[in-house]
Amino acid sequence: MIAIIKYPAGNITSVENAVNRLGYECIITDDIAVLRTAERVIFPGVGEASTAMNYLREKGLDKIIPALTQPVLGICLGQQLMCNFSEENNTECLGIFNTIVKKFPPLELVPHMGWNNLQVLQSRLLKGIAAEDNFYFVHSFYAEPCESTTAICNYILPFSAVLEKDNFYATQFHPEKSADAGEKILKNFLGI
């Protein structure tokens, strides 16, 4: 069973639909016991960092998510919340990836919305992805490159498009909205 973390964020149903299209059963849940026993966990999201982190703290998920031992995939806001800190309302996050999330300058160019390709450094998640493959982004904040960065996107400046550390994987882009290339990434994750 694939567990999709339930919290106040958008895009959760799109992720559920994408996983179902690939032939996997999934459940949307904030139940700690279910998250601990799931084969894979997906942490999606479109939303605001402090509201999301408040919910995770209320439910005890801020302690459980970093302690999960199965493969975990963060998407968009999910990726940002897996970092140490977000400038979005000065939010302390989960600290899985040793980097901070900053707001893009200048304001007239945000949000970053549209299709971009990646510079892949090394990545299990991006196996089979070609340099010309494009992915769908929509975000105003970005994770700074760090030792866990396995792919970079350049928009205004280079930022972490993919982060990987131990059993944790994260994408700033939306694989569930990134056509065939995004489907390949979801398949790669579900096959880890």
Q: What is the pLDDT of residues 102-137, one digit of tens each?
A: 999 877 778 888 999 999 878 889 999 988 899 999
Distance CA 122, CA 163 (A): 10
pTM exceeds cut of 0.85: yes
Contact call for residues 100 and 82 (beta carbons, < 8 A):
no
The enclosing H or E element of 98 equals: strand 97-103
Give pLDDT, residue 174.
96
Sign of CA dihedral 56, 143, 175, 151: negative
Catalytic hit among 16, 88, 164, 176: 176
Which two tokens mark 118? 């990646």
d(CA 121, CA 18): 26
Residues 71 and 41 sit within 8 Å (Cβ to Cβ): yes
CATH among 3.30.70.1380, 3.30.70.360, 3.40.50.880, 3.40.50.410 for 2-190 = 3.40.50.880
Mark whether 174 is an active-site residue. Answer: yes
DSSP 8-state class, residue 121: S
The token duo for 182 is 């995004």
Within 10 A of 17 (CB to CB), how many other CB atoms are there?
12
Residue bearing tokens 């084969």 = 39
pLDDT < 70: residue spans in the chain: none
Q: What is the pLDDT of residue 110?
A: 80
SS3 for 35? Answer: helix
Instruction: Give the per-residue pLDDT at 6.
Output: 95
- Pick the catalytic residue from 76, 83, 93, 153: 76
Active site residue 76: yes
Task: Say which DSSP state 177 is in.
Answer: G
Q: What is the pLDDT of residue 107?
A: 72
State the catalytic residue, choosing from 16, 139, 164, 174. Answer: 174
Residue 139 is a catalytic residue: no
pLDDT for the residue numbered 120: 80
